[in-house]
């Protein structure tokens, strides 16, 4: 059975000052194409966890670059899947005979560095590779899809196109930072998103006509960056009648595309999480019930979400911090 090493790797919690990596030359074991990639050396979890357990690192997210795709034949995996000693030889022989891998969007086969391929396309291909294993477990494929979904919270090039972005964003940040909880975690980011929303809605504030919609777009972007997509969509809906500059329109379009894409991959993971639950002892199923509840809420299946979350609230074994998360997710699913 092929172990999804990329997934196993990402579950290891490492503490270091920042994510570091090095460039390496890679030869594809399927088609012999040569390309470059980044190999990770250290990472950290100082950015805290999103409510679906995704950890954020300072200095770059390992999972965005540690999933390598051959630009020519689409073979995809972690560094070990390209390592002569450790690569899955049966799978590679199969792919040499017949390769069904298909990128979600076309990849230029002349691409020199695998990092130039958008991370969601690489992770989507990784899921295709995982699915080729005849003995694949639902949990392995579910996590591969969830990782693909989670790529949509990072790499915000569209913001760089907004005129004078750094200076304007800093000015807005200085207006809200005093009221935020300490730290770099998800709660601070979500509090910042709410503070930007409040600032933009406050008719009495002295924001310029240009900075008011920027504050709202930033609020949506911050919600999106922590996987709070329903909040992000709600903020964007409030901008429907506002005239935006082409650059801000570009950011709004980017956020909407990411929301749709994340939702699509979460929807693919849900039946697999449910199938995985059928194989688990109740005592070991707590985190997967929770995750299924979070995913179902995100795709608008609130009743089904509550069916997973509410029994957990009766469970006295669950530690208080986690119970708070469950209660919060349940409250959101109830629309309160």
For residue 234, CA distances in Å to 143, 153, 261 come to 27, 17, 17
CB closer to Zn ion, 21 vs 114 = 114
Mask for 32-61, x = binds Zn ion (CB under 5 A): -x----------------------------
CB closer to Zn ion, 95 vs 176 = 95
CB closer to Zn ion, 33 vs 42 = 33
Distance CA 204, CA 191 (A): 21
From 9, 16, 31, 267, residue interacting with Zn ion (rule: CB under 5 A): 31
CB 263 within 8 A of CB 294: no
State the minimum distance, in angstroms, from the CB of residue 37 to Zn ion: 12
Distance CA 120, CA 142 (A): 15
Q: Which of residues 56-115 bind Zn ion (CB under 5 A)?
A: 70, 72-73, 75
CB 12 within 8 A of CB 53: no
Selected range binding Zn ion among 23-31, 36-44, 121-129, 244-252, rule: CB under 5 A: 23-31
CB 75 within 8 A of CB 29: yes
252 near Zn ion, judged by CB under 5 A: no
Distance CA 263, CA 280 (A): 26
CB closer to Zn ion, 30 vs 222 = 30
Selected range binding Zn ion among 28-36, 233-241, 277-285, 323-331, rule: CB under 5 A: 28-36
CB closer to Zn ion, 74 vs 193 = 74
> Taking Cα atoms as reference points, which of 236, 250, 230 lies closest to residue 332?
230
State the minimum distance, in angstroms, from the CB of residue 71 to Zn ion: 8
CB closer to Zn ion, 33 vs 245 = 33
Pairing of strands 68-69, 76-77: antiparallel
Mask for 202-221, x = binds Zn ion (CB under 5 A): --------------------
The alpha carbon dihedral of 277, 333, 296, 231 has a sign of: negative
For residue 177, CA distances in Å to 9, 277, 305, 324 come to 35, 42, 34, 25
- Cβ atoms within 10 Å, residue 313: 12
From 28, 62, 288, 292, residue interacting with Zn ion (rule: CB under 5 A): 28
CB closer to Zn ion, 70 vs 291 = 70
State the minimum distance, in angstroms, from the CB of residue 1 to Zn ion: 23
Q: How many residues bind Zn ion (CB under 5 A)?
A: 8
- Cβ atoms within 10 Å, residue 239: 18
> Taking Cα atoms as reference points, which of 42, 108, 122 lies closest to residue 78?
122
Q: Which residues bind Zn ion (CB under 5 A)?
A: 28, 30-31, 33, 70, 72-73, 75
């Amino acid at each position: 059975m092929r172990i999804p090493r990329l997934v196993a790797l990402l579950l290891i919690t490492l503490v270091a000052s920042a994510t570091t990596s090095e460039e390496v030359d890679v030869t594809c074991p399927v088609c012999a194409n040569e390309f470059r990639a980044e190999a990770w050396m250290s990472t950290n979890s100082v950015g805290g966890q999103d409510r679906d357990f995704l950890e954020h690192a300072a200095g770059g997210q390992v999972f965005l670059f540690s999933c390598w795709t051959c630009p020519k034949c689409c073979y995809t995996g972690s560094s070990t899947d390209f390592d002569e000693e450790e690569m899955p030889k049966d799978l590679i022989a199969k792919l040499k005979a017949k390769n069904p891998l298909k990128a979600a969007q076309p990849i230029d086969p002349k691409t020199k560095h695998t990092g130039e391929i958008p991370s969601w396309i690489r992770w989507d291909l990784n899921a295709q590779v995982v699915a080729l294993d005849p003995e694949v477990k639902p949990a392995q494929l579910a996590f591969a899809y969830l990782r693909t979904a989670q790529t949509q919270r990072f790499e915000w090039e569209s913001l760089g196109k907004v005129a004078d972005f750094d200076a304007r964003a800093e000015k807005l940040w200085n207006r809200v930072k005093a009221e935020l909880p300490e730290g770099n975690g998800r709660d601070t980011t979500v509090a910042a998103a709410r503070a930007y929303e409040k600032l933009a809605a406050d008719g009495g504030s002295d924001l310029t006509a240009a900075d008011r919609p920027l504050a709202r777009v930033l609020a949506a972007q911050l919600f999106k960056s922590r996987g709070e997509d329903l909040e992000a969509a709600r903020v964007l809906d409030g901008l429907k009648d506002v005239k935006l500059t082409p650059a801000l329109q570009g950011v709004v379009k980017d956020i909407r595309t990411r929301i749709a894409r994340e939702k699509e991959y979460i929807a693919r993971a849900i039946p697999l999480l449910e199938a995985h639950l059928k194989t688990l002892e109740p005592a070991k199923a707590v985190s997967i019930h929770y995750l299924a509840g979070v995913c179902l809420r995100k795709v608008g299946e609130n009743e089904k979400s509550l069916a997973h979350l509410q029994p957990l609230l009766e469970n006295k074994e669950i530690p208080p911090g986690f119970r708070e998360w469950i209660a919060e997710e349940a409250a959101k699913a109830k629309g309160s």
